[in-house]
């Protein structure tokens, strides 16, 4: 297998929202804020070639589907669809993708499924040959969001996925599309049914951490986001998750860390977790099945 870290459209969001109840005096040591309290965030995707013989894209980032007013509101930096450019730079296009795996359907993780906004045009699904793999429980959340996170979903997206005829809902540890090559586990602290995908390998695989652990600062156990539905539950889930990945030598892949794509997890003699062996970018990075 070969892995690529692909940047999608980036954002600048309020640092206080991204670090929940952690004070600015603490989190600004990790990510300095601008004058408006904004911090840089990636929407990084993971491309894997040779997963059960397939080319798989883990998430699509925020994309460029927002109209200009909403693009500004949500801090999206670039107007063009950056993920498509990143795919092309790696030698691929959206038609080459066999499977798209989505941890959840919040717009900053699934918006890249859609073509870039054009005035007067309806939303249009990209990736014409891909199966779309989504957690079954989170799918129900997307169909009937809570008022607290309704704005995080793209209203038109569920019907577009249904109409594609290529949607697979997963409620166990494996999917039909990827067999034993990818193992799934689920988390409820950020959003109900968040699906965490691990590419299985003989000597430690790679897991897409999604919004359970958006980047290196959030490896620290008490650090959560203001966007998380159940922060205390998330902390408990994160501890079990990190203990498991540390025991099995599974690397962490970060979607929102602007400077680090992948790292291993370590734990010191006081029980504190940290990201180590950091990798800024993956470019046809080899992973032995």
Average pLDDT of the chain, as a whole number:
97
- Name the token pair of 171: 């409620």
What's the rounded Cα separation, in Å, for the pair 171 and 34?
41
Q: Return all residues near 83 (Cβ < 8 A) that are at least 6 apart.
A: 6, 7, 8, 9, 45, 60, 61, 63, 112
Architecture of the CATH domain 2-286: 4-Layer Sandwich (3.60)
Q: How many Å apart are CA 231 and CA 227, to the nearest integer?
A: 9
Beta bridge partners of 44: 7
Tell me the whole-structure pTM to 2 decimals: 0.97
pLDDT recorded at residue 187:
98
- Containing H/E element for 256? none
How sure is the predictor about 275, in pLDDT bands with cuts at 50, 70 and 90?
very high
The label of the residue with tokens 């409820």 reads 188
Per-residue pLDDT, averaged over 93-106, amounts to: 98
Please give the structure tokens belonging to residue 96.
């080459």
Phi/psi of residue 94, nearest 5 degrees: -65, -25
What local confidence, expressed as pLDDT, does residue 51 receive? 97
pLDDT value at residue 278: 98
Confidence at 203, pLDDT banded by 50, 70, 90: confident
pLDDT in tens, 216-249: 999 999 999 999 999 999 999 999 999 999 999 9
CA angle 6, 109, 224 (to 5 degrees): 105
Q: Is the confidence at residue 137, as pLDDT, over 90?
A: yes
Q: What pLDDT score was predicted for residue 289? A: 79
Question: Order of strands across the sheet with 182-187?
Answer: 182-187, 194-199, 206-208, 251-253, 262-267, 273-279
CA distances from 279 to 50, 94, 165, 219, 251 (A): 21, 25, 37, 15, 10
Strand, coil or helix: what is 135? Answer: strand
**Looking at residue 160, what is its pLDDT?**
98
Q: Taking 90 as the threshold, does the pLDDT of residue 20 lie above it?
A: yes
The 10s digit of each residue's pLDDT in 51-97 is 999 999 999 999 999 999 999 999 999 999 999 999 999 999 999 99
The ranges assigned to domains in the chain are: 2-286
């Amino acid at each position: 297998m070969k892995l690529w870290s692909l940047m999608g459209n980036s954002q600048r969001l309020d640092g206080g929202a991204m670090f929940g109840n952690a004070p600015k005096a603490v989190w600004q040591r990790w990510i300095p804020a601008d004058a408006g309290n904004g911090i840089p965030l990636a929407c990084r995707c993971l491309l894997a070639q040779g997963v059960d013989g397939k080319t798989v894209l883990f998430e699509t980032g925020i994309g460029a589907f927002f109209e200009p007013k909403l693009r500004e509101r949500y801090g999206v930096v670039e107007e063009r669809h950056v993920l498509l450019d990143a795919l092309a730079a790696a030698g691929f296009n959206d038609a080459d993708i066999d499977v798209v795996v989505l941890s959840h359907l919040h717009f900053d993780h699934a918006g890249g499924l859609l073509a870039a906004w054009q005035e007067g045009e309806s939303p249009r699904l990209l990736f014409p040959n891909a199966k779309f793999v989504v957690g079954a429980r989170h799918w129900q959340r997307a169909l009937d969001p809570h008022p607290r996170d309704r704005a995080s979903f793209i209203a038109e997206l569920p019907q577009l996925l249904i109409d594609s005829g290529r949607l697979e809902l997963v409620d166990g540890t494996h999917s039909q599309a990827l067999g034993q090559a990818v193992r799934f586990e689920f988390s409820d602290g950020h959003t109900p049914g968040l699906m965490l995908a691990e590419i299985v390998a003989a000597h430690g695989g790679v897991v897409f951490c999604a919004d359970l652990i958006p980047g290196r600062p959030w490896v620290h156990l008490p650090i959560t986001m203001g966007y998380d539905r159940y922060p205390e539950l998330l902390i408990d889930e994160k501890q079990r998750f990190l203990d498991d990945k540390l025991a099995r030598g599974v690397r962490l892949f970060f979607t929102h860390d602007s400077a680090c794509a992948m790292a291993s997890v370590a734990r010191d003699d006081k029980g504190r977790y940290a990201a180590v062996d950091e990798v800024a970018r993956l470019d046809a990075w080899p992973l032995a099945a």
